[in-house]
Homo-oligomer: A and B are copies of this chain.
Amino acid sequence: MLPIYAQVPQCELCNTTGGELVWRNADLRVIMVNDPHFVGFVRVVWHEHVAEMTNLTPAQRHMLLDVVFTVEQVMRDVLSPTKINLASLGNMTPHLHWHVIPRFATDVNFPNPVWALTQTQAAQTAQPCVSKAQYDTLVNALRIALWA
């Protein structure tokens, strides 16, 4: 529980960090999602409870997206994924957050979006597209790049 986020009582991203905290500033935080099928999945979460990018000022949008692109660049440098997937959806949790997902030709659902994972696919043992050592390197490299 991080009361600083607690603007809307029933909102998960107002009441929890949402994952393993990598970095934060006054406006947003970067977290590791720890999805076993998509290791290295990062979210960038705006602290304030707003639904859409156009609820932010242009300067806030650019700042948020510059963080998203720093994450993307570090992810590419460390993991060399087949593709980066970026998305801001929020249909279930309308609290602004960006998904930054490293995708690999060998992952459980490539080339489909991670959200199209079937139960059969989800039940498969996760393929080791990202090793524990790569994961640790990613988290450290994100912290270094974001503090820079």
Name A residues whose Cβ lies closer than 8 Å to a Cβ of B.
51-54, 58, 61-62, 65-66, 69, 72-73, 76, 82-92, 94, 103, 110-113, 115-116
| Chain A contact residues, majority secondary structure | mixed
A25 to chain B, nearest CB (A): 18
B72 A52 Cβ-Cβ under 8 A: yes
Chain B neighbourhood of A85, CB < 8 A:
87-91
Query: How many copies of this chain are found per oligomer?
Result: 2
B72 A83 Cβ-Cβ under 8 A: no
Top-5 shortest CB links A-B: A91-B111, A87-B87, A113-B115, A86-B88, A115-B116
Chain B neighbourhood of A69, CB < 8 A:
53-54, 58, 61
Chain B neighbourhood of A110, CB < 8 A:
91
A76 B54 Cβ-Cβ under 8 A: yes
CA distance A64 to B57 in the complex (A): 16
A121 to chain B, nearest CB (A): 12
Which of A58, A72, A73, A116 neighbours the largest number of chain B CB atoms within 10 Å of its CB? A116
Question: Which chain B residue has the least Cβ–Cβ distance from A93?
Answer: B111
